[in-house]
Structure 1
């Protein structure tokens, strides 16, 4: 998976699952695809520099905005689950991948990203070792 970032892995997983659902049902899920893409863009936005100099009231307002966005995401997921039992099955079956990304705090995310970087280093070494031994 690209770069090993948890957010990227989550959205690659969601996209892959959606493709599987589409192929199984032979139906294009345009609305769900657009929601996943919109959420991916929202999650990967880089905060503006002005966000670094917020006072407590401004931080509280930003947190309120984020909470509202999370409520929207929750509503999107809930409606997708309610309208399609396969979505519920897929989300349940893959919760071990996406739940840690969603529920992690800032420190946990840093640790998670660091451990993924270590895993990437190991897999790169294994690939190099495999390639050298086959030459």
Structure 2
């Protein structure tokens, strides 16, 4: 765990150094980018809060119902965005094979998507780089 913190620190030092170089070369201060890098650094180093209690099946079902309600609204939001902007329609149509299965998946299918993400050989190869 301490090694991960050291790697994170090194990454953000590298990003800060690169940002400084870009600012020097362009003679422009990149305030927005600096703020985003700092915010990301803070987010990465946050310690997740511990749940005070384990959720029982009823509480889990309630949370899943809340998530399902949110997903029900996705179709409406997508439809209205597609109707109002042809670029959105084109982008969503071109990428539907990626996002549509996730939205329409059952809970079991979503778990399989999540577990298969770490097993992607391309992802594993990129980590070694």
Q: The TM-score by the shorter chain falls in which range?
A: 0.3 to 0.5
| Structure possessing the higher relative contact order (Cα contacts under 8 Å, 6 or more residues apart) | 1
In the superposition, the TM-score normalised over structure 2's length comes to 0.46
Max Rg structure: 2
